Amino acid sequence: MVKVLISDKLSPAAIAIFKERGVEVDIKTGLTPAELREIIGQYDGLAIRSATKVTKDVLDAATNLKVVGRAGIGVDNVDVKAATSRGVVVMNTPHGNAITTAEHAIAMMFALARQLPEASASTKAGKWEKNRFMGVELTAKTLGLIGCGNIGSIVADRAVGLKMKVLAYDPFLTEARAVELGVEKAELEVIFARADFITLHTPLIDATRNIISRDALAKMKKGVRIINCARGGLVDEAALYDALKSGHVAGAALDVFEEEPATASPLFELENVVCTPHLGAATMEAQENVALQVAEQISDFLLTGSVTNALNMPSVSAEEAPRLRPYMDLCRLLGAFAGQLTLAQDGVIKRILVEYEGTAAPLNHRPLNAAALAGLLAPVMEGVNMVNAPVLARDHGIEVAEASTDRTGDYQGLVRISVTTEKSTRSVAGTLIGNGRPRLVEIKGIKVEADFARNMLYVTNKDKPGFIGRFGMILADAGVNIATFHLGRAAEGEDAICLVSTDGQTPDAVLAAVRALPLVMQATNLAF
């Protein structure tokens, strides 16, 4: 039975999802980092909100951990790079609180435009300062969106409904999507020059840190108002303070800060700043939604292999998983076959090409490629899996390419992996038979049909009489029992391949004897 640790508070309904699906769950909130490190090794999954810090030290102790699920969007509290290196999937729930966060941004924009917090405080203090609080309308104003993903697109929709002109900057926003949303796609410089209000809806990464910098503020239209309900660190707070004091920026509404909890800040002294304590996702509906989603996602991954909203692994939907799983097994085995031959023969891998034919062509190839890479790199790198294999390949300068065609040859569906080194290029191909069983059908262009077995002996030789008898005799004399025996050749008298599955690994001395046979060019133990 798989085990999941819930280390931050989740709703009872989320806990029930784990239990109903047969996942053993422990609820231990408020753990210190040392306490978490001490127990994390016994769990397959970890469900968190924002309080738990999943650091490299925690991940190093998480020897069985397969997935971290964050009930919410931001994963600032998770070392995603370290998780990827350890092969741990990191998931979030970007849709569960999207509406709530978007609504908070709109609310902050209204509060800023009409000076609602100051007006409320003044009125409650017994004053009646109608002339002091002169706001601005949102209608016909230009809103600049920085980030137009899940949340940003909802903000855009609400802003268009308010009759605002919306400019959107997002590297992944297509012209077609912009038209669909009713926004104008624009570069940052254009937004800075034209926007009356600017709202941020982008993750905090190296490319977006201090995206609202001192230089950016200087380029903005005088009287601009800035809203940040995304992540602290997107705005240079010291530069914003100066711009607010000078009057260049008319106001700011901040739900997030560089350091949280934010209990002191020069920004708090300014009347034209509206602040809330990271309330973007703080509604009953959102908290329930993200808790339910993270429970479903972790359960689905651990029980069925489906991957949803992963930050460091290709997604595999629950519907795709049953179709993809046999092909993922095939790709992993083909990769392992090619990787072991390459390790034995050529050394450094330069390029990998994965080809899909027939029924394999229209499938989701990203997880299949990851499975192939995991199998390929496992013989030479420790701890490789589908999560970290693409990163390891990139870090080692391995070019990864894919090609597909819906044409069929001898098989309805075929996967071929070609590995290029400094010395040569070799390929291996396979298909699925029966109820989805992986089967080898081609090695280096030579047709050889064989099932994968735990222990196999791969031999290349010249196709001449006498080889099979001598080879069989060596194995027999050594007490190596042959389970299956498969042969293939390029042409009569030319290169041939012998693939034997055995009841145990062939001893080194026996392998040496096989290599010493006159017609043998290569003999390699393979393990799957």
Q: What is the set of active-site residues? A: 231, 260, 278
Distance, in Å, from the CA atom of 40 to the CA atom of 77, rounded to the nearest integer, reads: 16
Q: CB–CB of 459/486 below 8 Å?
A: no
Whether 93 contacts 70, CB under 8 Å: yes
- Supply 100's token pair: 């709530």
Whether 198 and 191 have beta carbons less than 8 Å apart is answered as yes
365: alpha, beta or left? (left if phi > 0; alpha if psi -120 to 50): alpha
CA 504-509-515 angle, to 5 degrees, is 100
Rounded-to-integer distance, Cα 78 and Cα 59, Å? 10
**Tokens standing for 405?**
């065609």
Q: For residues 385 and 280, give the distance between their C-alpha atoms in angstroms, rounded to a whole number.
A: 35
CA distances from 183 to 94, 156, 166, 191 (A): 22, 7, 5, 12
Please state, in angstroms and as integers, the Cα–Cα distance from residue 520 to each residue in 462, 497, 505, following that order: 7, 10, 19
Q: What is the DSSP string of 225-240?
A: EEEE-S-TTSB-HHHH
For 453, the 3-state DSSP assignment is coil
C-alpha radius of gyration, the chain, whole number: 30
Rounded-to-integer distance, Cα 170 and Cα 148, Å: 6
Q: Which residues contact 26 (CB under 8 A, 6 or more apart)?
A: 3, 4, 5, 6, 43
